[in-house]
Structure 1
Amino acid sequence: MTISLSKSGIFMIMLAFLIQGCSNLKYLPEGEFLYTGGKVNIESDSISKNKEKALRIKLETLLRPRPNSTFLGLRPKLYFYNIAGTPKKEKGFKYWLKNKMGEPPVLFSQVDLEYNASLLQNYSENKGYFNAKTTADSTERNRKVTAEYNIDLGIQYLIKEITFPKDSSNLTAAINNTRTASFLKQGEAYDLDIIKAERERIDANLKEEGYYYFNPDYVLIQVDSTVGTHQVNLNVKLKEETPQKARQTYTINNIYIYADYSITEDTLSTTSAAATIYKDFTIVDPENKYKPQVFERSLRFKKGDLYNRTDHNKSLNRLVNLGTFKFVKNQFRTSDSLENTLDAYYYLTPLPKKSIRLELLGKTNSANYAGSEINLSWSNRNALRGAELLTIKGFGGFEIQASGQNQGYNIFKIGAEAALTWPKLLTPFNINSPSAFVPRTKATLSYEYQTRSQLYGLNSFKSSFGYLWKENIRKEHQLNVFDVTYVSPFSITDLYKEQIAENPSLGEVTQKQLIFGPTYSYTYTNTMETAKKSTFYYQGKADLAGNITGLVTGADIESGNPSEILGVAFSQYVKLESDFRHYFKLSNKSQLASRIMIGAGLPYGNSTKLPFIKQFSSGGTNSIRAFRARSIGPGSYNPEVESATFLPDQTGDLKLELNTELRTDLFSIVEGALFIDAGNVWLLNEDPEKPGAKLSKDFLKELAVGTGAGLRFDLSFLILRTDLAFPIRKPYLPDGNRWVLDKIDFGNRAWRKENLVFNLAIGYPF
């Protein structure tokens, strides 16, 4: 059915919506007015337009109460509240509509103009406008009232001089030594928030110097506004009533660790007799659950150390980061045995040592496969009494295609994985990381049996041993000293062999592969700093396979006799990847997310190309969303999949991908997105079976481009993502005809079937 609307019809519908929005007023109580918000007008000749705009926005956020939310000038939530009436019970549709979707009217009688005016006056004075004058008024029209606040700012006061305490006591000397990092600057505007931050800064610095009992309230910053025209002097002082204990530095004396503490039972009285002395620690662990070295590595304090907040926080963070304790509690108490010392107490409540987890997953991808996977894992959080994590997992799953070119070639897999993680670096050298995060050593061993109906099967074995460590919350490293993968095919059918004869690239999937060598990745991100307008994420990876072995054996595949291990030619290559993402906050409800990915693999010695499982691909739910998974390229190569029995995987040695996405909150848990993706993969060496696949100087002309829109549903425990995309540039078409914008035809069923790609995924694409 097709519905056609004239311009006048569209206008009438919009008018009906507006009239409906106005009908909210009929629900107002007699004599009441709907409050539509407050407006702040600033009068000042002494500040710039940009500064005035920023100040006005800040002042308007202080006004209370907030008016009813609006959407395109309407108040849908207020409308839902009104039409729901008075529900007879606290459940059902009407109750949900009124209390979940709706919101009650904000009435003008709830607005205290004088109170809001005083808020604006105080804020202005706190920002150095000591002579500001604020007035409040309101305007009413059709039972709707807007509050108006006028502020004559006057001239902002600036800081003329700053003095710090100069007497000879240790504490005041310590305060004076921090002045080089002071937030207070001569010539800058007076700001009460900066003054408060300065007191916090001084306290934080003193905590690093052993002043455990000091706090910001002991710092007094006097303001003298009589020193000049629109100027102030600031005098930083120590309050006379500062107690003696706050004037002293403290060192660490005894360190007590309760390794099996219960927050619901009095375990201290029943376990105190079971204490063990280990170096500087008194450890209460009646059942001997943990090796003492666990706490020695985790705690940054030793007996005799000067107290400092950095080591205090690092110790707590490392204990939590071990992953074996449910609760970590810490106290410092003045020691009875030595003057100016602290006894440290750590109360640790363990998590259950062993646990079993069962996961059932549903999956779908842009290659029209749907399926399920089940994972059963068993964990031991303290396997060797050193807070080691042992995980053994079994898994199985399937992917099927109900319709399409791969129909009937279903994928089934089953496998197991064992992983053991130590909360330390297992090296010949004694390395003690100063980070707040526990470094780890991890060893894994896994096997997967995979079969593709009517085609082939694969046995995959993987093993790795390496290290993971974080310098801080932003920087993370992962180094696998060795990373081994062995893939062996079986049961290759005649049908698949026939397809290989037509398309030799399909044979790469069923080749025996032996890959071994070190891998390294580095990650930097500041996306956790949500107050910043611009944040970014970067991950770089390096994969070196068979390098030393190839050098020792003199491997050279061009000689026609590649080097082998256990009868399998090993891979030799260098592979580098970079993933850079940038997030720009446009407003509190929207942001622009962008990504650029670059990857390059250089096969040499024993290899002419990257092994299939290490090659780059493009297309799919987290890539170029307008194209099916692994269906782009390489280069301008056209596999003519229309005539093939099933879709081949299209991979390359080089990759370039660019994405940008505008994300904005729509309502409730729903977020909308508009996006555009571009990219492709290329081969480094010429392949006669794939014309156009090699990287050339015209590689930018071979970028695939797609665009689309999507919805994201924030379900708190996960983000469910739906994207609908279509290509606007197809790299396999003849040069000059690759842009297909003029071919877009949403009304054409054949076009939709060929071009529209629906993606269902978990989480953001980047």
Structure 2
Amino acid sequence: MLFLMQVFYSLDEAFSNHSNSLILTQIKSGFLKNNITKITLYIGFIAFLAGCSAVKRVDEGKLLLEDNTIRIDGKTSRNEDLNSLLYQKPNTDLFGFPLQLHVYNLAKKEIDTTTRKYKRQIDKANRKIARKTARGKEVDSTKINRGGFQGWLKRTGEAPIIIDSKIAESSLTRLENYQKNRGWFNATGSLTIDTLKNKKKRGTILFEIENGKPFFVDSLDYKIASPVVDSIYNIARPESYVKKNKQFNTSDFENERARLTSIFRNSGVYHFQQNLIKYELDTLSQDTLYNKKKLSVAMIIPNRSIRNGDETQIEPFNIFRISKVNVYTDYTTDGTEQIFNAHRTVNGFDIFGKSAIKYRSSALLNPIFIEPGKIYRDVDRSLTIKHINELRTFRYPNIQYVEDPTDSINHSLIANIYLSPLKKYGLGFNVDLSHSNIQDFGVAFGTTLSIRNIFRGTETLDVSLRGSLGTSKDVSNSNGNFFNVTEFGADVRLSIPRILFFLDTQKYIPKTASPQTQIAIGGSIQQNIGLDRQNLTGLFGYRWNPRESVSHSFDIFNIQYVRNLNTENYFNVYRTSFRDLNLIAKDFNQTPENIDDKGDLVVPEGASNFIKEVLNGETALTPQDNAFDDVKNIEQRRVRLTDDNLILSGSFVKAIDSRKSFSDNNFYRFRGRLEVAGNLASTLSEAFGLRKNDQGNFEIFNVAYSQYIKTELDYVKYWDMKKQNVLAFRSFFGLAIPYGNSQNIPFTKSFFGGGSNDNRAWTVYSLGPGKSENNNEFNEANMKIALSAEYRFPILGGFKGAFFADAGNIWNVYDDNTDPDAEFKGLQSLEDIAMGTGFGLRYDFSFFVLRFDTGFKTYDPAEPNGSRWFRKYNFSNAVLNIGINYPF
């Protein structure tokens, strides 16, 4: 331990003597390099911590808090709400080991002196850099000055929690008040600090609470001065949180006040405020029969108080209506005089513009829920703000209400809506780094030009250009270039904030659901990614959100055309198929022109000729031979993967996400998708008598269109296990059935297994189908089952850990597959479900998570019966997955 400390102190001195170099390195390398250094430091010394003393920084006579115990009426409580009230909690541990405490103990105690030294050196370096910089731009020392290595140890670690009797007393008071707020008004407590005899300088705290008898609401009364408020309350009263014979709980009264305020303010009572609702409590005699105490509750809501100078006027609340709505479309916040010369009145709305009104009235008024003649409602204001923001046309709107001076009884409001338009043109750029099984390293970049209000209907047109450069060791023709994989594309998308349809859809999709029409076209071209492809797409669809947590997507037309540009490169890309074919050719090839000097098939001519000769019966192979079936399967796969695809489909997606905030770790997600392709094309083909190809399939533009039905069900559930521990579960089922004009599913629409976001014990595309022993580069099928569970926990600083289990497989069903091991045959095929288990190490950069997961093959259905469990459960057969963010 002393040697380790000396090493750390040497590092600290090395950092302090090279502060100028450190600053320049920070400037050049940026955020990523700084964090990579952190990761290296983490890994470098964690192994040394186990032998260090946890009480190294605990002074004599002090105690390190080892545990808190809470007893309620003599019984130990595990209530997390009670535990969260304690000001002092034991140091965070990792499976019983206080890792962060040990990291903190490695730092020097004289950290403040070190910090002052760093400040002087960094300030000196900043002055020097400022003099040499042409613009005189100074380095922000607050981003560099962090106390050096010693400061890093203290920030990453956790100071020892020393038992403080005064803080413990404060915690006890919080526990007593918590119980009193839940109806035990006479709750009393005591605490005991014990020293652990078998552990030096360590202690525990015991909190004991005696609740006494609880108080229950025995009678309810209310005193409401305003008749309007009284009548609204009588309607809302049955749903009250405060009920007779219910144990007193402060949260019930808080919830009831919030509920009533919302009801009043959404019923026209514009001036009502929550602090006007008061409660009077009166304790009654004890109920000896049920051993509980009674409580009388009275709710009091006075009239409205109006301050007029030094005088206060009292009058009853009234219901206010909207008499007028003014919409100002060119409002600015720069303090200049606002003069609106253009004016238009539509359906009671007054629309103003400075020189001209640049928006169609219907498009402008569609997101506004505040309407003349309606009673005032808070929800209308909230909906208006929300839907105006969704237009991506204006800045955050400013909505103000004033009492209408023309109303003699002062029960009317004028709503003024001030809209500040965003710039008509917006230009954005993005750069991403990526990694996949196809690309060892990739750089993706793109730019998007946004044109707002392009047709005066608050539409947004996005024109995007994108590209990526990658490197792959699997590319056969790389010409020695580092970036040997490329993709470039362009997309045009028009977003219209309403449903474009020849019938009125308001009854089924109201404007509260934020309806949108999406029209898009796009194209891309790939080089050295598989067979090289051109991809053309077209889309016309609708999007809407019937509830906050629910979203719908309905694509009426979704057209995709995939053209393979380099089909002759098939056997160079799919090397496993070529290897199997080449082995058969060594025994059965009879044409010398099919092979090269080494005796291998020539690609592509030799391989294609040999396949034709086998299938035409020109070799010694017969349909009864297994090798004949192998050649036939290789050819079927080749044809399927090299055929061009034309997909004319429609789809519906329903998604539910119950997550309330980014920090919410107790939620679920569901996504269901149904896609149907080729039905319209089939009907038109029959009607117009389009020609069929040699396989008996209709063609459009010399391409056989796909016809299938596909469904996907995806469910994710999170459980918050407290202390940043999370249990996550995912299930997935997918099925695509070809029919009519298709005998199989297009490759781009099929399912695959394995990879960093699937079964992590197999590389992507290497799992399945079924129990087959295929070693193809891209194994895929038309049915999939996947299950995953993951337990996530914090380790140290930004480091997170996880244990996971993945199960699932893919199968062929209802298609032209001829391999029985790949077929799904009912419940008996569930024994083909593969299982992988493993562990993960992640680093949280706050805006993304870098993930390293290691998966082990726990159950492999491709192995013979009796040898499937744990046969390859070792590091030599493990799969290291690198991913960005969590897998689900």
- TM-score normalised by length of structure 2: 0.75
Where do 1:555-704 residues align within 5 Å?
560-641=695-776, 647=777, 649-685=778-814, 687=816, 690-697=819-826, 698-704=828-834
User: Which range moves more in the overlay, 252-261 or 656-665?
Assistant: 252-261
What is the deviation of 1:82? 4.8
1:595-643 CA-to-partner distances (Å, cap 9, x unmatched) read 11111112111111112211111122211122121222222222244xx
Does 2:300 match 1:237?
yes
Pair 516,246 (structure 1): closer, same or farther in 2 beyond 3 Å: farther
User: Which range moves more in the overlay, 177-186 or 365-374?
Assistant: 365-374
Where do 1:671-750 residues align within 5 Å?
671-685=800-814, 687=816, 690-697=819-826, 698-739=828-869, 741-746=870-875
1:100 to 128, 136, 155: 155
Partner SS for 1:378: strand
Where do 1:211-360 residues align within 5 Å?
211-229=269-287, 230-239=293-302, 247-263=317-333, 265-267=334-336, 269-286=337-354, 288-338=357-407, 339-360=410-431
Query: Number of residue pairs matched?
Result: 727
Partner SS for 1:520: strand
Pair 377,251 (structure 1): closer, same or farther in 2 beyond 3 Å: same
Q: CA RMSD in A?
A: 3.2
2:878 to 720, 745, 756: 756
Aligned partners of 1:583 and 1:594 also within 8 Å: yes
2:73 paired residue number: 44
Partner SS for 2:57: helix
User: What is the distance in 1 between the residues matched to 2:211 and 2:304?
Assistant: 37
1:426 counterpart letter in structure 2: L
Where do 1:52-201 residues align within 5 Å?
52-54=77-79, 57-64=80-87, 69=92, 72=96, 74=98, 75-76=101-102, 78-80=104-106, 82-83=108-109, 85-86=111-112, 87=114, 88=116, 89-90=118-119, 91=145, 92-94=147-149, 96-97=151-152, 100-102=155-157, 111-112=166-167, 114-136=169-191, 138-139=193-194, 148-165=206-223, 169-201=227-259
What is the deviation of 1:58? 3.1
Aligned partners of 1:450 and 1:457 also within 8 Å: yes
1:5 paired residue number: none
Partner SS for 1:678: strand
1:64 counterpart letter in structure 2: Y
1:549-598 CA-to-partner distances (Å, cap 9, x unmatched) read 32454599899522222222211111111111111222241121111111
Partner SS for 1:200: helix
Pair 163,559 (structure 1): closer, same or farther in 2 beyond 3 Å: farther
Partner SS for 1:270: coil
Pair 431,143 (structure 1): closer, same or farther in 2 beyond 3 Å: same
5+ residue gaps, structure 1 = 1-12, 642-646, 747-751
1:523 paired residue number: 655
2:669 paired residue number: 537
Pair 60,685 (structure 1): closer, same or farther in 2 beyond 3 Å: closer
1:23 paired residue number: 56
5+ residue gaps, structure 2 = 1-45, 120-144, 288-292, 307-313, 572-603, 612-630
Aligned partners of 2:111 and 2:151 also within 8 Å: no
User: What is the distance in 2 between the residues matched to 1:111 and 1:684?
Assistant: 70
What is the deviation of 1:478? 0.6
- TM-score normalised by length of structure 1: 0.87
Aligned partners of 1:332 and 1:345 also within 8 Å: yes
1:713-734 CA-to-partner distances (Å, cap 9, x unmatched) read 2222222222121222223223
User: Which range moves more in the overlay, 498-507 or 520-529?
Assistant: 498-507
1:483 paired residue number: 558
Where do 1:337-416 residues align within 5 Å?
337-338=406-407, 339-367=410-438, 369-402=440-473, 411-416=485-490
Pair 59,456 (structure 1): closer, same or farther in 2 beyond 3 Å: closer
Pair 763,116 (structure 1): closer, same or farther in 2 beyond 3 Å: closer
- Specify which structure has the higher proportion of strand: 1
2:639 paired residue number: 507
1:519-564 CA-to-partner distances (Å, cap 9, x unmatched) read 1111012122689885211111111111133245459989952222
Pair 140,624 (structure 1): closer, same or farther in 2 beyond 3 Å: closer
Partner SS for 2:456: coil
What is the deviation of 1:671? 1.9
What is the deviation of 1:318? 0.6
What is the deviation of 1:368? 6.2
What is the deviation of 1:273? 4.2
User: What is the distance in 2 between the residues matched to 1:278 and 1:296?
Assistant: 9
Pair 528,167 (structure 1): closer, same or farther in 2 beyond 3 Å: closer
2:174 counterpart letter in structure 1: L
Partner SS for 1:701: helix
User: What is the distance in 2 between the residues matched to 1:395 and 1:167?
Assistant: 65
Pair 14,200 (structure 1): closer, same or farther in 2 beyond 3 Å: same
Aligned partners of 2:693 and 2:699 also within 8 Å: no
Pair 541,117 (structure 1): closer, same or farther in 2 beyond 3 Å: closer
Question: How high is the sequence identity, in percent, across the aligned residues?
Answer: 24
1:222 counterpart letter in structure 2: E
User: What is the distance in 1 between the residues matched to 2:799 and 2:643?
Assistant: 46
1:191-233 CA-to-partner distances (Å, cap 9, x unmatched) read 1121121111111111221112112222222222115431212
Partner SS for 1:478: strand
Pair 182,292 (structure 1): closer, same or farther in 2 beyond 3 Å: same
User: What is the distance in 1 between the residues matched to 2:226 and 2:490?
Assistant: 69
User: Which range moves more in the overlay, 353-362 or 565-574?
Assistant: 353-362
User: What is the distance in 1 between the residues matched to 2:490 and 2:473?
Assistant: 28
Partner SS for 2:462: strand
Partner SS for 2:429: strand
Aligned partners of 1:376 and 1:394 also within 8 Å: yes
Does 2:418 match 1:418?
no
1:379 counterpart letter in structure 2: S
Aligned partners of 2:755 and 2:765 also within 8 Å: yes
User: What is the distance in 1 between the residues matched to 2:168 and 2:885?
Assistant: 45
Aligned partners of 1:636 and 1:692 also within 8 Å: yes
Pair 240,461 (structure 1): closer, same or farther in 2 beyond 3 Å: closer
1:202 paired residue number: 260
2:53 counterpart letter in structure 1: Q
- Specify which structure has the higher proportion of helix: 2
What is the deviation of 1:387? 2.2
User: What is the distance in 2 between the residues matched to 1:17 and 1:222?
Assistant: 58
User: What is the distance in 2 between the residues matched to 1:615 and 1:175?
Assistant: 58
1:270 counterpart letter in structure 2: Q
Aligned partners of 2:217 and 2:248 also within 8 Å: yes
1:749 paired residue number: none
1:86-118 CA-to-partner distances (Å, cap 9, x unmatched) read 222342414632652255566656835554443
Aligned partners of 2:785 and 2:808 also within 8 Å: yes
1:468-505 CA-to-partner distances (Å, cap 9, x unmatched) read 11112111111111011112233432663466745221
